[in-house]
Amino acid sequence: MRKKIPEFKNEDEEREFWATHDATEYIDWKKAERATLSNLKPSVKKISLRLPESMLEELKLLANKKDVPYQSLLKIFLAERIEKELGVH
């Protein structure tokens, strides 16, 4: 008999639970089925970021040339730099 998985108020609460509990006590992995979550979007968190106005204008100029929103371009730049710094790929 497996333990019942509790109801969670949010992702943080669930993350904390699984960080401190053994999933094998709750889930029978022998009965697990592979699932494809093609429409799953990553969790995002809104932040406030202060940039010099000139930097923001330059970012908007670059984004306009690439025909993408400047926020999206900023995320691409950050992701590329994080990969480089962490030595990923």
pLDDT in tens, 25-77: 999 888 888 888 878 888 888 999 999 999 999 999 999 999 999 999 999 99
Mean pLDDT of 5-10: 94
State phi, psi for 7 to the nearest 5 degrees: -80, 140
Sign of CA dihedral 80, 82, 83, 85: positive
What is the C-alpha to C-alpha distance for residues 86 and 1, in angstroms, rounded to an integer? Answer: 43
Model confidence pTM above 0.75: no
In this structure, are residues 28 and 2 in contact, taking their beta carbons and an 8 Å threshold? yes
